[in-house]
């Protein structure tokens, strides 16, 4: 036995000798090599995506649109395969520092996922009511394309002219998807056609006293330039020609194609209708949640959460001395006028002013929660009229990385009955501070991280943080009004229902009507909210499951840290771990929290 023991000791000694160690210089060189590659990859991708440049405040190719052709997608697949091969052949991962090794793992997974998921390239609806180009292109020009110089105006005109070839590619994509059995659901057509037709209303598309949305935007921006009036007039004439030659031609082509496809549309709404639809949806859930939870497991989590939140709502119902069932209370909250601003200019201004006040109040308390805070400011804005009818009820737009544009919390005030006052706090916390603005602006401003990590989008992480941010203020003494606290629960309930309905539609063959009924039976939200949400589930399979799954994981990790550290737990340090590494898959976030716990224990 002694001989065996000595042999084992000798083997372990030899193993230790065989493990190669690297000097600080070698680690620095290997890590620098990989980070240089990341930057080169980011820059090359940016060169191929002019619209991304504009989002980041870069004006290099501000006269162009992204290429959305299938040939371009083919080439992007080649780039991904070549990049993955380079990673595998050229990098010694054992010589990387800790941060760069994490970047390596994330980028490798990103490339592998993109290559694997190319088989589902056509498994999306090229236009829909949530993010179709029929609304995104004008929104981009209005909100992203700044005109500070004459050259900026000329680039805007160039983009107007290039809408026609861009929409030719869009129409090709629509037809290609239809050929492989990815047909747009019937309800979508009326919405996207209305969006498209709205853009080509007014001058110069028709004789009208009203200017079209884009002409009005262009003239307003050009009017502020410090150039001769004659130059402004020339630019406006050129813009009108671009609107007719580019925008009118492109939108007419799109409208004609959509009208033809509408005739063959069906009311089959779930991903199950696609070729290999079950496999596609399972993969979509895996990507969205960054977990291995099955559709059925997510469905059951949703049902449990709905039950729990209903119980907490009953406590509030009793607290405000409401007599009746929870369903009666829902009806009261839906109908009582005290909870709704007037559906006029005054009411909408009051809503926006209150939203600003909520965010400003939270700003004064951020030191209690965060060590790292964003430099970028946040503004509140109503969704523009041309897209308010089809857009979501609220969303966040990230700031420009060069500081030229703040982050924006958009509130959709088209239907004031969908924007009750008791949900205002939770909505502002989610989209603004401490929600998306904190997470996204901080990520963009991080030093020494490759750009792909600063700008990454793991939906469960991003939206999980947003939903978690609705809950944090409760612990700080906000939601003092019990109705507002009910609103917080109503927002969380909404996200719990999403787990049930998203999986119901795409895995259990629920109809659109069954999904709407589940929301109206189980939440206090207006039916209009339920309709929009179900329609969002339909065109974005799995996306809405991210919120609750992500929030539950962040809360689970926080509890894990608090239980392990006791009095040594500092919520500011925990939030630093969550926010100062850029967006992450949930399993990677858990590893970082474990490392933080071990480090704090010493």
Q: Percentage of residues in the chain with pLDDT exceeding 70?
A: 97
Report the alpha-carbon distance of residue 48 to residue 61 in Å, rounded: 10
Report the alpha-carbon distance of residue 96 to residue 30 in Å, rounded: 6
Report pLDDT for 11: 45
Residue reference for tokens 């941010």: 469
Q: Which residue has the higher pLDDT, 205 or 392?
A: 205
Go through the chain and tell me how many residues it has. 602
Report the alpha-carbon distance of residue 172 to residue 243 in Å, rounded: 22
Which stretches of 41-117 are assigned E, i.e. beta strand?
Answer: none
- The DSSP 8-state label assigned to residue 166 in this structure reads H
Torsion of CA 271, 272, 277, 283, to 10 degrees: 60
Answer whether residue 19 shows pLDDT above 70. Answer: no
The average confidence (pLDDT) of the chain is: 94
Report the alpha-carbon distance of residue 481 to residue 163 in Å, rounded: 49
**What average pLDDT does the segment 549-562 reach?**
98
Are 173 and 70 a contacting pair, CB within 8 Å?
yes
**What average pLDDT does the segment 496-502 reach?**
98
Report the alpha-carbon distance of residue 119 to residue 116 in Å, rounded: 7
pLDDT, tens digit, 9 for 90 and up, residues 440-454: 999 999 988 999 998
pLDDT, tens digit, 9 for 90 and up, residues 249-281: 999 999 999 999 999 999 999 999 999 999 999
Using DSSP, state whether 211 is helix, strand or coil: strand
Are 323 and 388 a contacting pair, CB within 8 Å?
no
């Amino acid at each position: 036995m002694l001989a065996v023991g000595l042999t084992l000791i000798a083997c372990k000694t030899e193993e230790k000798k065989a493990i190669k160690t690297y000097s600080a210089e070698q680690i620095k060189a290997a890590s620098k090599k990989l980070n240089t590659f990341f930057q080169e990859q980011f820059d090359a991708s940016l060169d191929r995506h002019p619209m991304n440049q504009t989002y980041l405040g870069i004006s290099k190719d501000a006269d162009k649109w992204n290429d959305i052709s299938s040939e371009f997608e083919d080439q992007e697949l080649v780039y991904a395969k070549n990049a993955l091969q380079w990673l595998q052949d050229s990098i010694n991962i054992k010589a990387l520092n800790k941060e760069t090794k994490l970047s390596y793992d994330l980028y490798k997974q990103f490339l592998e996922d993109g290559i694997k998921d190319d088989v589902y390239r056509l498994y999306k609806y090229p236009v829909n009511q949530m993010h179709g180009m029929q609304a995104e292109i004008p929104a981009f020009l209005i909100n992203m394309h700044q005109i500070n110089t004459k050259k900026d105006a000329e680039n805007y005109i160039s983009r107007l002219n290039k809408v026609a070839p861009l929409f030719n590619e869009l129409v090709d994509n629509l037809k290609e998807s239809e050929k492989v059995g990815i047909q747009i659901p019937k309800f979508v057509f009326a919405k996207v056609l209305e969006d498209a037709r709205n853009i080509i209303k007014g001058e110069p598309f028709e004789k009208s006293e009203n200017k079209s949305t884009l002409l009005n935007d262009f003239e307003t921006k050009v009017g502020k330039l410090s150039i001769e009036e004659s130059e402004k007039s020339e630019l406006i004439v050129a813009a009108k020609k671009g609107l007719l030659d580019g925008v009118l031609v492109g939108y007419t082509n799109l409208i004609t194609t959509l009208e033809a496809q509408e005739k063959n549309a069906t009311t089959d709404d779930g991903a199950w209708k696609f070729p290999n639809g079950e496999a596609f949806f399972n993969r979509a859930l895996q990507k969205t949640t960054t977990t291995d939870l099955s559709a059925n497991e997510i469905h059951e989590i949703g049902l449990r959460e709905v039950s729990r939140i209903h119980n907490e709502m009953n406590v509030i119902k009793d607290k405000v001395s409401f007599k009746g069932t929870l369903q009666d209370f829902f009806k009261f909250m839906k109908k009582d006028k005290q909870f709704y601003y007037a559906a006029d200019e005054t009411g909408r201004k009051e809503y926006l002013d209150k939203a600003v006040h909520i965010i400003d109040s939270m700003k004064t308390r951020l030191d209690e929660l965060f060590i790292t805070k964003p430099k970028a400011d946040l503004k509140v804005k109503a969704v523009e009229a041309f897209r308010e009818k089809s857009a979501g009820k609220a969303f966040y737009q990230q700031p420009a990385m060069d500081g030229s544009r703040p982050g924006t919390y958009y509130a959709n005030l088209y239907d004031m009955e969908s924007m009750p006052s008791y949900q205002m706090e939770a909505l502002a916390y989610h989209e603004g501070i401490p929600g998306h603005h904190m997470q996204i602006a901080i990520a963009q401003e991080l030093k020494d991280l490759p750009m792909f990590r600063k700008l990454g989008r793991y939906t469960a992480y991003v939206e999980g943080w947003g939903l978690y941010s609705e809950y944090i203020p409760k612990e700080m003494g906000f939601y003092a009004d019990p109705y507002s606290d009910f609103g917080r629960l109503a927002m969380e309930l909404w996200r719990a229902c999403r787990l049930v309905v998203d999986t119901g539609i795409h895995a259990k063959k629920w109809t659109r009507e069954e999904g709407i009924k589940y929301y109206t039976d189980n939440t206090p939200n207006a039916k209009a909210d339920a309709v929009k949400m179900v329609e969002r589930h339909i065109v974005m399979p799995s996306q809405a499951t991210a919120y609750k799954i992500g929030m539950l994981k962040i809360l689970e990790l926080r509890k894990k840290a608090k239980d392990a550290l006791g009095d040594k737990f500092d919520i500011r340090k925990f939030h630093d771990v969550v926010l100062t590494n850029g967006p992450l898959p949930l399993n990677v976030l858990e590893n970082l929290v474990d490392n933080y716990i071990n480090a704090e224990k010493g």
